[in-house]
Structure 1
């Protein structure tokens, strides 16, 4: 059963950089649903998008799979497609172990392989769908172009990259408005001012967000022919890029 997220509910003498450790694993579903506006809508739409772009005899990748929520959604979308395999990648072993337990609870003929490794070191091959669900924002900024290029290079023609990210608006005034709306969302979901402040301090050094323009430029540079934002709520957006 999912535990309630109280990691930052008490004053901390010092705030360490946020990491996906066992403590976060235990509360992650509660944390992400209460922190990311539109998260459930993105997951609910993934099967539909996967069905549209999955190809027979191909691989599907969930890069930064965490507890496997997107992996499960992807599996629903390719159950009618022959000879597909999903490969889930995460660099946190506690996440991989819990994801395996979640996947074992749902019967499916679509095979899933979970691997604990750095996604930047993952070789993408014969891919028809690649998902990066709130993952690129944790990759060092100087490696992001390389990650997207690696995905493109290993993707079949007509394949799709589905990427969801927290974003930064290029207009600083509008960016402040979006941040305020996000904080109101967290307050409405029961987070206190202390929790919001301490979580922000913990994550600011490990999560650097891009503008939509930077994402678009990165897709174009890699070679993607088409891209669009298909969902946005406040400063969170889901994008689709097609090879």
Structure 2
């Protein structure tokens, strides 16, 4: 059996979800089997990142995990640009470093608190399913910091799990998502275990709340460029 397959929630959970070595070891598999159309959303993210990255520009990936997207962006990079990935998980960054070396990619990954980091003026910020793990009280502050660090017309591309404030629709969206996970081979037990582990750790907003937050933070425009049920990819333009 492939030890890179996600089996994290096949046993009883003893703690809240965290990005430790156990999760880092299977994270790429977890993403592809837990996030519908993950590869497609990443292709769109890469497309808009490359469109907006100028010569000698900066791109930051917040919560870069194992650096897969940064490596993909580097592979198709035509401009001379600096690609920086930030994460607070040592386990994720250790795997990211090994992958970067294996692919010979010119990508810099750093252990950092994305709320405190001193950003250079950038063309592009990316965050894949990271904002939802930032406490709501400081989430808008982070977006203000991102907006302030972007050049005019720079972009912030972010993917998030979203909720609906229509209770029946929200329930149906969750059921639709659980059906997807079952199709990927996850058991009812694993699905329940992960939901319990993420309780109060992952706090999603609605599509409208994410767009309002971006506009309140100083972006001139924000809209959805990809969505499947309760997963969405947004682009915010300064």
TM-score > 0.5 by shorter chain: yes
User: How would you bin the TM-score normalised by the shorter chain?
Assistant: over 0.9
1:73 paired with 2:68, answer no
What is the rounded CA distance, in whole Å, between the counterparts of 1:73 and 1:144 in structure 2? 27
Q: 1:76 to 1:228 in 2, by over 3 A?
A: farther
What is the rounded CA distance, in whole Å, between the counterparts of 2:62 and 2:3 in structure 1? 23
Asked if the contact 1:61/1:129 (under 8 Å) is kept, the reply is yes
Partner of 2:47: 48
What is the rounded CA distance, in whole Å, between the counterparts of 1:240 and 1:107 in structure 2? 29
1:103 paired with 2:100, answer yes
Helix, strand or coil for the counterpart of 1:120?
coil
TM-score normalized by the length of structure 2: 0.95
Partner of 2:8: 7
Asked if the contact 1:15/1:198 (under 8 Å) is kept, the reply is no
Asked if the contact 1:229/1:240 (under 8 Å) is kept, the reply is yes
What is the rounded CA distance, in whole Å, between the counterparts of 1:47 and 1:210 in structure 2? 24
CA apart distance, 1:6: 1.1
Partner of 2:206: 211
Helix, strand or coil for the counterpart of 2:110?
strand
Partner of 1:90: 87
What is the rounded CA distance, in whole Å, between the counterparts of 1:145 and 1:230 in structure 2? 21
CA apart distance, 1:173: 1.1
CA apart distance, 1:2: 6.1
Asked if the contact 1:62/1:88 (under 8 Å) is kept, the reply is yes
Cα shift readout 1:148-203 (whole Å, capped 9, x = no counterpart) = 00000010111110000001112111111110010000000111110000110001
Partner of 2:159: 164
What is the rounded CA distance, in whole Å, between the counterparts of 1:165 and 1:76 in structure 2? 25
Cα shift readout 1:40-61 (whole Å, capped 9, x = no counterpart) = 1112223311121112222100
CA apart distance, 1:22: 0.4
What is the rounded CA distance, in whole Å, between the counterparts of 2:75 and 2:224 in structure 1? 22
CA apart distance, 1:68: 0.6
Q: CA RMSD in A?
A: 1.4
Partner of 2:27: 28
Helix, strand or coil for the counterpart of 2:163?
coil
* Structure 2 residues without counterparts, runs of 5 or longer: none
Partner of 2:62: 63
What is the rounded CA distance, in whole Å, between the counterparts of 1:73 and 1:237 in structure 2? 20
CA apart distance, 1:226: 1.5
* Structure 1 residues without counterparts, runs of 5 or longer: none
Helix, strand or coil for the counterpart of 2:103?
coil
Name segments (4+ residues, structure 1) moved above 3 Å: none
Partner of 1:19: 18
